[in-house]
Amino acid sequence: MTDAAAPTSRTAYADAVTTAVQAAAAYYADGSSPLGDDEYDALVRAIEAYESANPDQLLPDSPTGKVAGGAVTGDVPHSVPMLSLDNVFSAEELAAWAEGLERRLGHPVGGWCVEPKLDGLAVAARYRAGRLQQLLTRGDGLAGEDISHAADAVLGLPAELTEPVDLELRGEVLLTHRQFEHANQVRTAHGGLAFAHPRSGAAGTLRAKDRPYRIELTFFAYSAVGLDDLGHAALLERLADLGANTAASTPARPVRCETLAQVQQRVAEIADLRASLEFGIDGVVVKADSAADQRQAGSGSRAPRWAVARKLAAQHKVTRLLAVEWNVGRTGIIAPRAVLEPVVIDGVTVSYATLHNPADITRRGLLIGDQVFVYRAGDVIPRVEAPLVAERTGAETPIAFPERCPRCGDAIDTTEQRWRCVRGRGCRAVASIRYAVGRDQLDIEGLGGTRAVQLVEGGLVSDVADLFTLTRDQLLALERMGAVSTDNLLAAIETARNAPLHRVFCALGVRGTGRTMSRRIAAHFGSMAAIRAADEQALAAVDGIGTEKAKLVVAELAELAPVLDKLIAQQVGTAVTGPAVPAAGSGSVGAGGPAGPLVGEAVVVTGAMTGALAELSRTEVNELVERAGGKASSSVSKRTTLVVAGEKAGSKRAKAEELGVRIVSPEDFAALVADYLG
Residue 614: DSSP 8-state: T
672, containing H or E segment: helix 666-672
Question: Amino acid identity, residue 257?
Answer: C
645-666 as b/e: b if 16+ CB within 10 A: bbeebbbbbbbbebeebebebb
> pTM for the complete prediction?
0.55
10-30 vs 37-53: helix crossing angle, rounded to 10: 140
421 in Cβ contact with 427 (< 8 Å): yes
Question: Could you give the CA distance from residue 661 to residue 647 in angstroms, rounded to a whole number?
Answer: 18
Q: Which amino acid, one-letter code, is at 477?
A: A
Of 441 and 5, which is predicted with more confidence?
441
Task: Provide the pLDDT confidence category of residue 585 given band limits of 50, 70 and 90.
Answer: very low
3-state secondary structure of 212: coil
Q: How far apart are CA 99 and CA 29, in angstroms?
A: 36
**Strand (E) or helix (H) holding 294:** helix 291-297
What is the distance between the alpha carbons of residues 545 and 451, in angstroms, rounded to a whole number? 35
Dist CA 449 CA 110 (whole Å): 63
* Mean pLDDT value of segment 626-634: 82
The phi-psi region of residue 526 (left if phi > 0; otherwise alpha if psi is between -120 and 50; otherwise beta) is left
Q: Is the pLDDT of residue 50 over 80?
A: yes
Query: Confidence band (pLDDT; 50, 70, 90) for 567?
Result: very high
Highest mean pLDDT among 168-177, 407-416, 542-551: 168-177
46 forms beta bridges with none
- Percent residues over pLDDT 90 in the chain: 37
Question: Where is pLDDT greater, at 329 or 319?
Answer: 319
Q: Beta strand pairing status for 86-88 and 307-311?
A: parallel
Asked whether 67 and 82 are in contact (CB, 8 A), the reply is yes
Q: What is the pLDDT of residues 442-475, one digit of tens each?
A: 889 888 778 888 888 888 988 899 999 999 999 9
- In this prediction, what percent of the chain has a pLDDT beyond 70? 90
pLDDT for 586? 38
Q: So what's the pLDDT on residue 216?
A: 93
Residues of each domain in the chain carrying CATH 3.40.50.10190? 602-676
The 10s digit of each residue's pLDDT in 77-131 is 888 999 989 999 899 999 999 999 999 999 999 999 999 999 889 999 999 999 9
Q: How far apart are CA 78 and CA 171, in angstroms?
A: 14
pLDDT at residue 306 in the model: 97
Lowest mean pLDDT across 37-41, 173-177, 212-216, 275-279: 37-41
List Cα–Cα distances, 232 to 79, 88, 301, in angstroms.
20, 20, 21
C-alpha span between 43 and 4 (Å, rounded): 6
The arrangement of secondary structure in 316-401, i.e. its CATH architecture, is Beta Barrel (2.40)
- Is 480 exposed, middle or buried, given 0-12, 13-18 or 19+ CB atoms closer than 10 A? exposed
Residue 5: pLDDT band with limits 50, 70, 90: low
Question: H or E segment at 453?
Answer: helix 449-457
- Cα separation of 578 and 351, whole Å? 45
Q: With beta carbons less than 8 A apart as the criterion, state whether 273 and 654 touch.
A: yes
- At residue 636, the pLDDT reads 85
Task: Give the pLDDT confidence score for residue 332 in this predicted structure.
Answer: 85
Please give the residue that has the higher pLDDT: either 557 or 440.
557
Superfamily (CATH) of domain 76-311: DNA ligase/mRNA capping enzyme (3.30.470.30)
Task: Judge whether residue 76 has pLDDT over 90.
Answer: no
Query: Of residues 66, 117, 317, 631, which has the active-site annotation?
Result: 117
Question: What is the C-alpha separation between 437 and 416, in angstroms, rounded?
Answer: 29
Q: pLDDT confidence of 516, banded at 50, 70, 90?
A: confident
- Rounded CA gap, 182 and 216, in Å? 9
67 pLDDT exceeds 60? no
216-244 residues labelled b (16+ CB within 10 A) or e (exposed) = ebbbbbbbbbebeeebbbebbebbbebbb
User: What are the strands, taking DSSP E only, across 184-306?
Assistant: 217-225, 255-257, 281-288
Find the mean pLDDT for residues 171-179. 92
In which element (H, E) is residue 22 found?
helix 10-30
Contact 629, 582 (CB under 8 A): no
Structure confidence at residue 3 (pLDDT): 53
* Out of 316-320, 376-380, 636-640, least confident range: 376-380
**Alpha-carbon separation of residue 371 from 113, 454, 634 (angstroms):** 39, 44, 35
pLDDT given for residue 595 in this prediction: 58
pLDDT digits (tens, 9 = 90+) for 471-493: 999 999 888 889 998 999 999 99
Q: Select 425-569's CATH number: 1.10.150.20, 3.40.50.10540, 1.10.3720.10, 1.10.10.10.
A: 1.10.150.20
Give alpha helix (H) positions in 536-665: 536-540, 546-559, 561-569, 618-627, 651-659
| Res 148 pLDDT > 90 | yes
**DSSP labels for 33-51?**
-SS-HHHHHHHHHHHHHHH
Where is average pLDDT lowest: 63-67, 101-105, 164-168? 63-67
Could you tell me the pLDDT band of residue 291, with boundaries at 50, 70 and 90? very high
What is the structure's pLDDT at 591? Answer: 37
Residue pair 256/230 in contact (Cβ under 8 Å)? The answer is no
Which carries the bigger pLDDT value, residue 341 or residue 207?
341
pLDDT band at 589 (very low <50, low <70, confident <90, very high): very low
Q: What is the mean pLDDT of the chain?
A: 85
Q: Which pLDDT belongs to residue 580?
A: 39
Distance CA 431, CA 332 (A): 10
Quick one: DSSP state of residue 424? Answer: G
Q: Residue 301: which pLDDT band, with cuts at 50, 70 and 90?
A: confident
Query: Rounded mean pLDDT of 29-47?
Result: 66
Residue 143 has pLDDT above 90, yes or no: no
**Residue 40 near residue 27 (C-beta atoms within 8 A):** yes
331-352 pLDDT, tens digit per residue, is 888 989 999 999 877 666 788 8
**How many residues are recorded in the chain?**
678
pLDDT of 31 > 60? The answer is: no
Calpha distance 424→507 (Å, rounded): 16
What per-residue confidence (pLDDT) applies to 500?
87
Where in the sequence of the chain do the CATH 1.10.150.20 domains occur? 425-569
Segments of the chain assigned to CATH 1.10.287: 10-70
Residue 642: other Cβ atoms inside 10 A: 19
CATH number of the domain located at residue range(s) 602-676 in this protein: 3.40.50.10190
Task: Give the residue-averaged pLDDT of 418-435.
Answer: 84
Contacts of residue 526, defined as CB under 8 A and 6 or more positions apart, other chains included, come to: 501, 576, 577
Identify the CATH assignment for 10-70 out of 1.10.287, 1.20.120, 1.20.58, 1.10.150.
Answer: 1.10.287
> Hey, CA dihedral for 457, 462, 468, 471, is it positive or negative?
negative
Residue 274 and residue 577: Cα distance in Å, rounded? 38
What is the C-alpha to C-alpha distance for residues 576 and 624, in angstroms, rounded to an integer?
15
Q: Is 287 a catalytic residue?
A: no
Give the pLDDT of residue 588: 39
End-to-end Cα separation, the chain, in angstroms? 50
| pLDDT confidence band for 276 (50 / 70 / 90) | confident
Q: How far is 418 from 328, CA to CA, in rounded Å? A: 11
Is residue 592's pLDDT more than 50? Answer: no
- Contacts (Cβ under 8 Å, ≥6 apart) of 92: none
